[in-house]
Amino acid sequence: MEIITSSRSMTEWANSRLYSRETICLVPTMGYFHEGHLALMREGGGLADYLVVSLFVNPRQFGPTEDFEKYPRDLERDMRLARENGVDVMFIPEMVDLYPPDFQTEVRVMELSRPLCGASRPGHFDGVTTVVAKLFNLVKPHVAVFGEKDFQQLAVIRRMVADLNWDIEIAGHPVVRESSGLAMSSRNSYLDEEGHRKALSLYRALEFAAEQASGGATDPTLLEKQIKEKLAGLSGAEVDYVEIVQADTLEKSKMINHNSLLVLAVRIDGIRLIDNRMLLR
Ligand code: PAF
């Protein structure tokens, strides 16, 4: 596995692959790999001739009071896991390389970035789209893989790619869960044992909602209310949002149907976790 740490070398590497008519898959990450990341890498490995994984903890997608400084990092372990999972190149750029002091451009997807996580984390998606746009320009992938746990992020990136006419296929990978049902996330590492137990309430809420929907529930507002009540009864849990939206537009569902997606964000002992699932499969 090759390690590339400068944007110039990344571009040179990508250009020589393109010159040889070879294809590139990119899996963008912020590191601290878990099984969810590894699943993206394994999928990505089968989608192109070369698999590039970028590792960059992007300050622009963290709010001023968020966990940028303490975001978990373990570079040695990440490099070993990447090597073991078929990664050809790890791109680990320096902060000053991606954001030199005179940097002043932002990429924003106006509508899709606004609701849900965009409402509770102002500017978050502008940071994501700006860095992903830069990564796309440097790595020049034919295909890029993102996890469906960050469903809104995936929708925002698909919109950006379509709006900016990039010829890049965006592949979504289903949520990877622990055997308990908890969606894998680097932020799970902040939870103690009790926090882990409480965090299962997110998964239970999704399961409950899916049961209600397949049992004939059609009113999204009523179902959202029931879920919020269940979560409110749990000590240490603070609901950020619980919404049933149309999976393609992220607009509120008027009625539960086969395009209805339940998305939720809940703070467990102060740790913000997100999850989602289609209500009818
Ligand atoms: O999903 C993530 O880990 C990040 O938002 C991403 C896409 C790597 C951009 O920093």
Neighbours of 253 (CB within 10 A): 23
Torsions phi, psi for 28 (to 5 deg):
-80, 135
DSSP summary character for residue 73? -
CA distances from 29 to 159, 181, 252 (A): 19, 22, 29
Ligand 1 proximity of 131 Cβ (cutoff 6 Å): yes
- Interatomic CA distance for residues 185 and 177, integer angstroms: 9
Q: What amino acid is encoded at 170 in this protein?
A: I
Q: Which of 37, 124, 142, 173 is catalytic?
A: 37
CB half-sphere exposure, 120, CA atoms < 13 A: 16
Radius of gyration of the chain (CA): 19
Task: Tokens 């209500």: give the residue.
Answer: 279
**CA-nearest residue, atom 1 of ligand 1:** 29
Is residue 37 flagged as an active site residue? Answer: yes
**CA-nearest residue, atom 5 of ligand 1:** 128
DSSP summary character for residue 67? S
Ligand 1 proximity of 61 Cβ (cutoff 6 Å): yes
Beta bridge partners of 91: 4, 54
Output the DSSP codes for 106-127. Answer: ----TTTTSSTHHHHSTTHHHH
Mutate to test the pocket of ligand 1, among 38, 52, 132, 157 (most ligand atoms within 8 A of CB): 132
**What pLDDT does residue 281 have?**
86
Contact (Cβ atoms closer than 8 angstroms) between residue 157 and residue 132: yes
Report the separation in Å between the CA atom of 230 and the middle of ligand 1, taken as the mean of its atom positions: 30
**CA-nearest residue, atom 2 of ligand 1:** 29
pLDDT mean by block of 10 residues, the chain; 281 residues: 98 98 98 98 98 98 96 97 98 98 98 97 98 99 98 98 98 97 96 96 97 98 97 93 96 97 97 97 86
Which atom, in ligand 1's list, is nearest to the CA of 135?
9
Neighbours of 254 (CB within 10 A): 13
Report the separation in Å between the CA atom of 126 and the middle of ligand 1, taken as the mean of its atom positions: 12
Q: Which two tokens stand for residue 8?
A: 């110039």
**What pLDDT does residue 217 have?**
97
Mutate to test the pocket of ligand 1, among 153, 158, 175, 186 (most ligand atoms within 8 A of CB): 153
